[in-house]
Structure formats: C-alpha cells, structure tokens
Amino acid sequence: MARRPLSQPADLRLTDLQAYQSQRVAHEGVTATTVNRVLNYVLTALREQADAGVPADAAIFRLRPLPEPHRLPRYLPDSDCQRLQTFVQTRLDSPDPLIRLENACFLVLAHTGLRASECVYLQVGDLDLPGRRLVVRQGQGRKDRVVYLSDLAVQALTRYLGPIPRPRALVDPPQRSSPALRVAGQQNDRSRFGGRRG
C-alpha cells in the first residue's frame, strides 16, 4: 500500500492488500496474526465507507486472511516452575492468612491439575488431609473425582486451615478474585499443555 499513492478508497485494489500481506510477512517478519488484524481494521473502515456511499472496489472484500498457526498456551520451563515453587515454600510459615491461602491454592493447582475454578469452589468437607486426597465435585463432565495431594500441598492446606474452624468454603467469595489465584490458575492451564506438574 505504501508503493503507490492513494487519494481515495476506490483507488485501493485487492492486489494492493495481497502485496501488503506478502511484504509484511515474507520480507519484514511480521506475524500473520498481526497482518490479519491490521487488514481487518482496513476492511472494516472500507465497509463503513461503502455503506456511507463512498465507492470502493468490491473485489477487495474477497481478501483471504493469512493462515494463522494454532497456538497452544505457553508454559513455564521446569526451571521457572521450580523457582516459583521454591518461592511459595519460603512463604509457608507466613502469618498472613491471604498468603497462606495463595500458597495452598497454588500448590493444589500446581500438583494436582485442578482448574482454578475447581480449586476456589472446594469445600472444606471435600478435603481428606490425613488420606492426602480431595474430592472435586461436579468437575469436568459434571462428574465427581478424587485427586491425590502431594505432601507439600497437604502441608500448605494444613497451615492455611489451622486449628480455627472454617466456613464450608475453602476459599471465601471475596478472595476468589485474588490476583495470585488468577496467576496460579493460568500457570496450571499452561502446564497442562506443555510442562510437568511436580
């Protein structure tokens, strides 16, 4: 599009947009996703202009977007996962109840493969800490399942729950939107596709 001057939308041709696609991807190393997004903005503006009565080449709307690779979620390398787990372990004795909650949820997510939503809706009655397991109620496929806990996850849960009787929910509703729980859930989603859980 930068190769020749354009004075009005009608001057733009399908071949101009195809040349733009080729130039950006092949010669400038721009991703297909970015090129498609830019051209989507251009086509949207041209459609709005055409709807308002400004002439435009009808063939331009037949532009095919570039194929985009199917992307799996990114995951943390094992070394980063280990560093994160080591950091959480240094906080296990924290007196702050929110930090203890984040530790427990992170370790449950990282060591069991639970989804973040399954973790935050656990009930205290779903936990069997002496048996090192928990029950996920109405999980994927609306089925209950038993998940086994690592020693470290049991330790974090025990420290979070403490001797004080807790309400039925493991995570109180105001704490469900904690930024740390969102990060832990995202890490769990990523590790499910590309890394190992420890």
Residue 71 placed within a domain: no
The verdict on 178 and 124 lying in the same domain is yes
The verdict on 58 and 82 lying in the same domain is no
Residue 73 placed within a domain: no
Q: Closest Cα to residue 171, out of 116, 89, 129, 132?
A: 116
pLDDT at 144: 87
Residue 96 placed within a domain: yes
pLDDT at 149: 94
The verdict on 99 and 154 lying in the same domain is yes
The verdict on 110 and 189 lying in the same domain is yes
The verdict on 37 and 105 lying in the same domain is no
Q: Which sign, positive or negative, has the C-alpha torsion 63, 69, 72, 78?
A: negative
The CATH number covering residue 146 comes to 1.10.443.10
- Which residues are CB-neighbours of 127 under 8 A, at least 6 positions away? 134, 157, 161, 170
- Which residues are CB-neighbours of 88 under 8 A, at least 6 positions away? 103, 106, 107, 156
pLDDT at 197: 42
Residue 184 placed within a domain: yes
Residue 18 placed within a domain: yes
What residues make up the domain containing 50?
A: 9-62
Q: How many structural domains comprise the chain?
A: 2
pLDDT at 72: 65
pLDDT, one tens digit for every residue, the chain (198 residues): 456 777 877 888 899 999 989 888 888 888 888 999 999 999 998 888 888 888 888 889 999 999 988 776 677 788 888 898 999 999 999 999 889 988 998 999 989 888 888 888 888 888 999 999 999 887 667 788 899 999 999 999 999 988 766 656 767 655 555 555 555 555 554 444 344 444
pTM of the model: 0.52
The verdict on 88 and 164 lying in the same domain is yes
The verdict on 128 and 178 lying in the same domain is yes
Residue 138 placed within a domain: yes
Residue 14 placed within a domain: yes
The verdict on 93 and 177 lying in the same domain is yes
